[in-house]
Amino acid sequence: MYQNNYLVKLIIMLVFLTTITSCLSVAKLSDFPKTSTAIDFDKYSREYHELKSPYWTSENASEYYFERDTIITNKELTDYIKQTLVALGYSITSNDYEDDFIRGSRNMTTREWGSITTVYYKLDYDKNKLQVYILTEITQDISGGRAENRAKTVGKVIEKLID
């Protein structure tokens, strides 16, 4: 009798632990493209111009894209990106100027889950075009988090600085 109770409790505990660990959403650096050349900027540009509400503008998305028909220097752009990430509570964890991206991470607080945000950019001096793609992944989450597009929040701040 006692063995059956023990077995039932063990099975319940295993099911519970399996459920909890399968719900965990943890971002890994391997989830992010390693260079900006891995981003299909042309695809995002087409969606930016052709679709009224591209998916990446929704509150449930984890990405954001914008472009401008203007050129600023690489230093100006990277300064804007770093300034934005720091102002939003991120620590800069990677400045890869050769691969055209800047990454920041933000720890979990009492009100928000932690996250990693990477800002990829492309400066096309021939076409006088600036393109920016932002990807955010939650690092600690068992609930799915609230519907909030953190990448869009970062992007909107950078856009204001550029404009």
Q: Phi-psi bin for 49: left (phi > 0), alpha (psi -120 to 50), beta?
A: alpha
Q: Does residue 29 lie within any of the structural domains?
A: yes
Question: For the ranges 35-39, 49-53, 77-81, 159-163, which has the lowest average pLDDT?
Answer: 49-53
pLDDT at 92: 93
DSSP 144: -
Query: Hunting for tokens 């401008």 — which residue is that?
Result: 68
Q: Does residue 138 lie within any of the structural domains?
A: yes
Higher pLDDT among residues 148 and 30, named by residue:
148
Mean pLDDT of 11-40: 64
What is the per-residue pLDDT across 73-132, written as a single tens digit (0 to 9) for each?
Answer: 999 999 999 999 999 999 999 887 778 999 998 877 656 677 899 999 999 999 999 999
Q: Does residue 6 lie within any of the structural domains?
A: no
* Domain tally, the chain: 1
> Token digits for 70?
């203007």
Q: Does residue 109 lie within any of the structural domains?
A: yes
Q: Does residue 19 lie within any of the structural domains?
A: no
What is the per-residue pLDDT across 124-137, written as a single tens digit (0 to 9) for each?
Answer: 999 999 999 999 88
Range of the domain at 108: 25-162
In this structure, what are the phi and psi dihedrals at residue 120, rounded to the nearest 5 degrees? -100, 145
Query: Hunting for tokens 């989830």 — which residue is that?
Result: 31
Q: Does residue 5 lie within any of the structural domains?
A: no
Q: Does residue 56 lie within any of the structural domains?
A: yes
The whole-model pTM stands at 0.77
Q: Does residue 50 lie within any of the structural domains?
A: yes
In this structure, what CATH number is given to the domain that contains residue 46? 3.30.530.50
